[in-house]
Structure 1
Amino acid sequence: MSARPRPPAGRHPRALRSLATVPGGRRGKWLVLAAWLLIVMALGPLAGKLGEVEDSSANAFLPGKAESAQVNTELEKFRGQDEIIPAVAVYSRDDARTTRADAAKAGADRTALASLVPEGQKIAGPLPSDDGKALMLVVPLTTGSDDFTADLEKVRDVAAADAPSGLDVAVGGPAGSLIDSIEVFGDLDTTLMLATGAVVTVLLLITYRSPVLWLFPALSVGFAAVLTQVVTYLLAKYASLPVDPQSAGILMVLVFGVGTDYALLLIARYREELHRHEDRHEAMRLALRRSGPAVIASAGTIAIGLACLALADINSSRSLGLVGAVGVVCALLAMITVLPALLAVTGRWVFWPFVPRYGTEPRAARTVWARIGGLLQRRPRWSWLMTVGVTAVLALSATGLTMGLTNEEMYQDKPESVVAQEKLSAHYPSGSSDPVTVVVRTAARDEVRQAASAVDGVESVRPEDRTADGRLTTLSVVLDDAPDSEAAKKAVDRLRDAVHQVEDADALVGGTTAELLDTRRAAQSDLRTVIPVVLAVVLLVLIALLRSLVAPLLLLATVVLSFFGALGASHLIFTQLLDFPAMDNSLPLMGFVFLVALGIDYNIFLMTRVREEAALHDHTKGVLSGLASTGGVITSAGIVLAATFAVIATMPLVSMAQLGVLVGIGVLLDTFVVRTVLVPSLALDVGARVWWPSRLGQAPTTVDVRPAKEREPEKV
């Protein structure tokens, strides 16, 4: 069948045509570059202020409506502007009782640290353990000091200095845990940006094998990163956009990865058009018009999918979703404006040494992707059934997941606060270093205290503090078990049941154990709420883009299957290679949203090209030509995106490392399995009916019966 003429540019939406003429125009390119330079010069200083609007409080990572979050809010009434957070120093001997010298050391430390204690507070201890093998010193610190971090470091320095031989000393407690957490996130934004930038640069050099071309997508992504930080800062400051250190760090990875993907797609199409058109401005305008719908649909799908996380109850999930959506939109704006303008200014020579010459073929006809297409065409049903089977086997590995990380399991490298908690758990009632906090009306304090003391799993209850007006009182409840243990969480449930029954007490139960419990339950609820919405939104976008009902359903099914395959493969890596004992509670939801949004990305790139080619030829050749023409660029894009998320896997926080591994594996599955084999073989097996009910769905599917050597599709 002879090929029909390529559809004229006028078939694309008028707004897109107008947009395409600006960055690729002879004068428009200069206007675009001037506008970007003015934006960066005027607003660039705001990019460095993003850290000022980041919320690193406990509530930033908790469910918004959780009882433990309400406790944190109520505690502000007790603290005023200054919060009292205790540091706990534990002095221990593993195989012997502590000595008089050990007690003298702890006593001397108490005297040396007295100057750090705020007015009205005092150091507790040294408190000996029941087994006689440990001493505990509780040092109250205030966030109102000139340098809370320096105070904690002084406690650690004093405790570690001149310790008797054989005495182990570690400082933890709430203050130690807070500072260790801050140190993890302290340079996270910069570290992730530099590491991701280095990875993207290396991969662009490998992809283009040009000493010049890689600079243009890298520079464009840099513009996108600045714009993203500025917009995020302004929205956080003036529109209450939630931003926490974790979402701010992952934001840069997402912008670099997605932005580079769009750059690869646009440059690949621009290279094709340079072979067909002598005028580089015309080539760029056509490249934008023909790749623009897929890029915009991809960015829209990712942004809308991430924005669905606004429905989540956990604040950190909401933050990551909304901040990520902002980043994707900013990356899109940069890639369809500043990148085309830069390429239009410089011309063909930037592709050196592989300069696309006008009137020559883009590539040799027989490519690896053409050969893969030929293999799939011979046995399409067998191909997709085998692919589904292999992915399903991987998915089975996800059965028996252990969810929920303890405090000791949150870090890849164990910080001092975790070491201190382990020693406290070994020698004291496990909850003594981090008791549960109960906020009650003062008038009902005694009744609540009595009810709490009778709860199974409670070791002791004592009053702590009152508000200035005397209306509220806090109770400190020490549990028998470690704060992050399942037994402690069950004890919190029993404690809540007991104190809630006290009339007119308005009792609220919070603290670390309650926060872990509330977060786990909210994560399960968010899965049931967010996932159906994400699937529905993505399906509607695909229907609008492909003008079909069958193809969107098939594509959505493939990315869901890919997610479960990635989850199973990640579980194997976590347990067999990385020795992670459990998955973070938020990982299934975050991984699902990222992988469905990013995974459908490559399906959009492939199927929009297939639809374009099917309109020119027939369905079968459209599938094969679409696979052959997009195979290289989508593979490069998938490797870049997976590599950028692999950077997150090197972070010290286990929850972030797990997200990086899961998304990286999922993207590779989408790139090499779903897009390469599963989707094309399904499209070939279903035939033109995949486009039903559009006009393409009524066209007959051409079956090429020529020998395989003669029916390899040409690269177009």
Structure 2
Amino acid sequence: MTIKYANDPGTGTHAEKPLIARIIHAFAVPIILGWIAICVALSVFIPSLEEVGQERSVSLSPKEAPSYQAMKHIGQAFNEGNTDSVAMIVLEGKQPLGDEAHKYYDALIRKLRADTKHVQSVQDFWGDPLTAAGAQSNDGKATYVQLNLAGNQGEPLANESVEAVRKIVADTPRPPGITTYVTGAAALVADMHHSGDKSMVKITITTVVVIFVMLLLVYRSPITVIMLLLTVGVELTAARGVVALLGHTGAIGLSTFAVSLLTSLAIAAGTDYGIFIFGRYQEARQAGEDRETAFYTMYRGTAHVILGSGLTIAGATFCLKFARMPYFETLGIPCAVGMLVAVFAALTLGPAVLTVGSRFGLFDPKRLLKVRAGAGSARWWCGGRCPFWPPRAPSPWSVCSRCPDIGPTTTTAPTCPTSSPPTKGSPLRNAISRRPG
């Protein structure tokens, strides 16, 4: 449903006020407060997305893979376990390992075998005289023990098992000169999860700083850039919160890749949509439209673009749901849901922020719009050559006497009627006559 308003002074055509745009314009403040309340509720009552990702992380290996099936079969046949999580404990000394090192090793083995919740089997080769030589290095300074842990690689139980083994190693006093390491496939996957979560903070901060600098160079208005980034921040918080809610309730699985990709997509898409909204509004203001008219011009020109772009990204990421690799499969629903939330926020919160800020003139354009007509390099004024161009000193004028008052910017040639240079008594002619020299 749309209604028409008076002729646009810049184009002379009838424009329309979409129903959704009128609702957003009328209830801008409640919309902003509503989104803030949603973000606060999700942040307070739901764990962070990184924490939920650790709770609901999925297995690294596809269960249909022949290698995975073979490993489970071997574990069952030799009574060593039914998972693909394997860890290694390596003992290294500065001198050949002696009796003290052996006592320390035996203490570790006893504690590991006692933890049946996390350790399914221990391959104690160094403790058996028949296999001790094969488990020790040629110089006698290092040995190892292999563990089969509970939980498949990447799953919460597997990560918990790795932490349990590390705690046993840390709590067991070791003799001087002995260094103990916990490594192996399961430990590497667990470390990858932690590294991915920690790196997101650095990536997010760097991304925001780069975006801030680039937007500041374009808009030359710190207020505009800050408000745009705050809007993106609310969209990002809402998208992450909704996905965290789904993961916390067990509706979806997650991985460190899903968390990273969702955050990057939300920041990138939210910034793009904010540029669409604020940029189109400023173009309308530069064309001579008042603030309310420019708002509706912006919404008519950007709403369908934002919706189409967001649905395309959401649909493309959702297709990853059909992948066989669990790490790829978990990218589908989280990224799609996060993008839908970001799009909905961009279509409601962005225009609402624009409505409130425009009432105080926060988003009016700060850059002059330069006009070129034809293939020549001459400057044009209102469709004709200006005999007073260029002035000998910086000119204080910026408003055309034959065009609507558009504030501190120049106009484009298509919005001005073709006419002669400014007449005597016009603001432009008076400003030029007052120039120095």
Structure 2 equivalent of residue 44 of structure 1:
43
Partners of 2:71 and 2:84 within 8 A in 1: no
Per the TM alignment, residue 163 of structure 1 is displaced from its structure 2 partner at its CA by 2.6
Asked if residue 296 in structure 1 is aligned to residue 296 in structure 2, the reply is no
Asked if residue 349 in structure 1 is aligned to residue 361 in structure 2, the reply is yes
Per the TM alignment, residue 175 of structure 1 is displaced from its structure 2 partner at its CA by 4.8
Asked if residue 28 in structure 1 is aligned to residue 12 in structure 2, the reply is no
Residue of structure 2 aligned with 1:177, choices 177, 188, 193: 188
Matches within 5 A, 1:672-711: none
Q: What SS class does the counterpart of residue 177 from structure 2 fall into? A: coil
Asked if residue 124 in structure 1 is aligned to residue 124 in structure 2, the reply is yes
Could you say if the C-alpha distance between residues 172 and 251 of structure 1 is closer, same or farther in structure 2, counting changes exceeding 3 Å? same
Residue of structure 2 aligned with 1:102, choices 63, 72, 97: 97
Partners of 1:55 and 1:242 within 8 A in 2: no
1:142-185 deviation digits (Å, cap 9, x = unpaired): 66899852641553797986337xxx864423453344334323
In structure 1, C-alpha distance between the alignment counterparts of 2:239 and 2:231, rounded to whole Å: 12
Structure 2 equivalent of residue 60 of structure 1:
59
Structure 1 equivalent of residue 163 of structure 2:
149
Asked if residue 263 in structure 1 is aligned to residue 274 in structure 2, the reply is yes
Structure 2 equivalent of residue 137 of structure 1:
144
Matches within 5 A, 1:399-414: none
Per the TM alignment, residue 315 of structure 1 is displaced from its structure 2 partner at its CA by 1.8
Asked if residue 316 in structure 1 is aligned to residue 327 in structure 2, the reply is yes
Name which one, 1 or 2, has greater alpha-carbon Rg: 2
Partners of 1:33 and 1:342 within 8 A in 2: yes
Could you say if the C-alpha distance between residues 58 and 209 of structure 1 is closer, same or farther in structure 2, counting changes exceeding 3 Å? closer
Asked if residue 18 in structure 1 is aligned to residue 19 in structure 2, the reply is yes
Q: TM-score, normalised by structure 1?
A: 0.42
Partners of 1:216 and 1:339 within 8 A in 2: no
Partners of 1:50 and 1:230 within 8 A in 2: yes
Per the TM alignment, residue 187 of structure 1 is displaced from its structure 2 partner at its CA by 2.6
In structure 2, C-alpha distance between the alignment counterparts of 1:329 and 1:196, rounded to whole Å: 22
In structure 2, C-alpha distance between the alignment counterparts of 1:235 and 1:216, rounded to whole Å: 29
In structure 1, C-alpha distance between the alignment counterparts of 2:28 and 2:356, rounded to whole Å: 7
1:265-293 deviation digits (Å, cap 9, x = unpaired): 21110101122355322211210111222
In structure 2, C-alpha distance between the alignment counterparts of 1:175 and 1:318, rounded to whole Å: 20
Q: CA RMSD in A?
A: 4.2
Structure 2 equivalent of residue 253 of structure 1:
264
Partners of 1:200 and 1:256 within 8 A in 2: no
Partners of 1:274 and 1:283 within 8 A in 2: yes
1:471-501 deviation digits (Å, cap 9, x = unpaired): xxxxxxxxxxxxxxxxxxxxxxxxxxxxxxx
Structure 1 equivalent of residue 426 of structure 2:
none
For structure 2, the 5+ residue unaligned runs are 1-9, 127-131, 151-156, 378-437
Asked if residue 364 in structure 1 is aligned to residue 370 in structure 2, the reply is yes
Q: What SS class does the counterpart of residue 145 from structure 2 fall into? A: strand
Matches within 5 A, 1:162-311: 162-163=176-177, 170-238=181-249, 240-311=251-322
Q: Which amino acid aligns with 1:310?
A: K
Could you say if the C-alpha distance between residues 228 and 5 of structure 1 is closer, same or farther in structure 2, counting changes exceeding 3 Å? same
Could you say if the C-alpha distance between residues 194 and 110 of structure 1 is closer, same or farther in structure 2, counting changes exceeding 3 Å? same
Give the stretch that moved more between structures: 107-116 or 220-229. Answer: 107-116
Q: Which amino acid aligns with 2:237?
A: V
Q: Which amino acid aligns with 2:334?
A: V
In structure 2, C-alpha distance between the alignment counterparts of 1:113 and 1:222, rounded to whole Å: 48
For structure 1, the 5+ residue unaligned runs are 94-98, 357-361, 372-716
Structure 1 equivalent of residue 108 of structure 2:
113
Could you say if the C-alpha distance between residues 90 and 314 of structure 1 is closer, same or farther in structure 2, counting changes exceeding 3 Å? same
Q: TM-score, normalised by structure 2?
A: 0.65
Q: Which amino acid aligns with 1:60?
A: S
In structure 2, C-alpha distance between the alignment counterparts of 1:224 and 1:89, rounded to whole Å: 47
Partners of 1:125 and 1:138 within 8 A in 2: yes
Matches within 5 A, 1:345-494: 345-347=356-358, 349-351=361-363, 354-355=365-366, 363-366=369-372
1:595-628 deviation digits (Å, cap 9, x = unpaired): xxxxxxxxxxxxxxxxxxxxxxxxxxxxxxxxxx
1:404-435 deviation digits (Å, cap 9, x = unpaired): xxxxxxxxxxxxxxxxxxxxxxxxxxxxxxxx
Could you say if the C-alpha distance between residues 139 and 58 of structure 1 is closer, same or farther in structure 2, counting changes exceeding 3 Å? farther
Q: What percentage of aligned pairs have identical amino acids?
A: 22
Per the TM alignment, residue 364 of structure 1 is displaced from its structure 2 partner at its CA by 0.7
In structure 1, C-alpha distance between the alignment counterparts of 2:256 and 2:71, rounded to whole Å: 19
Could you say if the C-alpha distance between residues 304 and 216 of structure 1 is closer, same or farther in structure 2, counting changes exceeding 3 Å? same
Structure 2 equivalent of residue 463 of structure 1:
none
Q: What SS class does the counterpart of residue 144 from structure 2 fall into? A: strand
Matches within 5 A, 1:567-586: none
Could you say if the C-alpha distance between residues 60 and 289 of structure 1 is closer, same or farther in structure 2, counting changes exceeding 3 Å? farther
Partners of 2:258 and 2:331 within 8 A in 1: yes
Partners of 1:263 and 1:339 within 8 A in 2: yes
In structure 1, C-alpha distance between the alignment counterparts of 2:160 and 2:319, rounded to whole Å: 41
Q: Which amino acid aligns with 1:173?
A: G
Per the TM alignment, residue 299 of structure 1 is displaced from its structure 2 partner at its CA by 1.2
Q: What SS class does the counterpart of residue 88 from structure 1 fall into? A: strand
Could you say if the C-alpha distance between residues 61 and 81 of structure 1 is closer, same or farther in structure 2, counting changes exceeding 3 Å? closer
Per the TM alignment, residue 83 of structure 1 is displaced from its structure 2 partner at its CA by 10
In structure 2, C-alpha distance between the alignment counterparts of 1:207 and 1:157, rounded to whole Å: 57
Structure 1 equivalent of residue 407 of structure 2:
none
More helix by share: 1
Q: Which amino acid aligns with 1:152?
A: R
Could you say if the C-alpha distance between residues 285 and 59 of structure 1 is closer, same or farther in structure 2, counting changes exceeding 3 Å? same
Per the TM alignment, residue 108 of structure 1 is displaced from its structure 2 partner at its CA by 3.8
Partners of 1:188 and 1:249 within 8 A in 2: no
In structure 2, C-alpha distance between the alignment counterparts of 1:57 and 1:102, rounded to whole Å: 42
Q: Which amino acid aligns with 2:112?
A: V
Q: What SS class does the counterpart of residue 366 from structure 2 fall into? A: coil
In structure 2, C-alpha distance between the alignment counterparts of 1:79 and 1:30, rounded to whole Å: 62
1:492-511 deviation digits (Å, cap 9, x = unpaired): xxxxxxxxxxxxxxxxxxxx
Partners of 2:235 and 2:345 within 8 A in 1: yes
Q: Which amino acid aligns with 1:349?
A: G
